[in-house]
Amino acid sequence: MILFRKVMRLTDPTDQSSAKKVYPQITYRYSKAATLGECAKEISGNSGVSEGETISVLKDFRSLLKKTLLGGRAVNIEGLGYFYLSARSKGTETMEEFTSVNIDGLRICFRANNDIRLHTGTTTRTDGLAFKDVDRVNKLGEDSGDGEGGGEVIDPME
């Protein structure tokens, strides 16, 4: 189940006078991130490779990914996706003013391959994808026996 909140945003972020609409924002506040150990255990159970060897390979991949990206290359893992760097800066008024000194950070970006990309069309929903509005769940949990929420506290983790 994928938890989301509703947030108001400008329809055009570059125009402060544009209309606002409600959009979903995925939230992980009520869930715990999967760990390297959990992933390794799952992979080892499916592949027959030991959990320790799987952890070692995943750690080696992490180191190689960083080294390759910092070496100026993107990384395309077939069936998984494309890793690349994105630079962050405050920008300058002219092209001539901008130098590498203006770059104040890097981010690792990822673009999923079509094999694992998620779509909310009917095929994904029939595969068991479900969305739950966290604010609605929390609201129902706050109701105190007035017939709407039955006084039952709903755990958004379930």
DSSP string, 60-101: HHHHHHHHHHHTT--EEETTTEEEEEEEEE---SSTTT--GG
In this predicted structure, what is the pLDDT of residue 60? 96
**pLDDT one-digit tens code per residue, 13-22:** 899 999 999 8
Q: How far is CA 54 from the centre of its chain?
A: 23
Short-list 46, 121, 115, CA closest to 78: 115
pLDDT band at 86 (very low <50, low <70, confident <90, very high): very high
- Higher pLDDT pick, 142 / 95: 95
61 pLDDT above the threshold of 90: yes
pLDDT band at 116 (very low <50, low <70, confident <90, very high): confident
- Higher pLDDT pick, 28 / 87: 87
Cα separation, 67 vs 46, in Å, equals 29
- The size of the chain, in residues, is 158
In this predicted structure, what is the pLDDT of residue 135? 80
**pLDDT one-digit tens code per residue, 119-132:** 666 555 556 777 88
3-state secondary structure of 103: strand
Average pLDDT over residues 100-113: 93
- Higher pLDDT pick, 143 / 66: 66
Cα separation, 140 vs 153, in Å, equals 7
In this predicted structure, what is the pLDDT of residue 121? 63
Cα separation, 42 vs 36, in Å, equals 10
In this predicted structure, what is the pLDDT of residue 29? 74
pLDDT band at 62 (very low <50, low <70, confident <90, very high): very high
At a CB cut-off of 8 Å and minimum separation 6, what does 93 contact? none
In this predicted structure, what is the pLDDT of residue 154? 36
100 pLDDT above the threshold of 60: yes
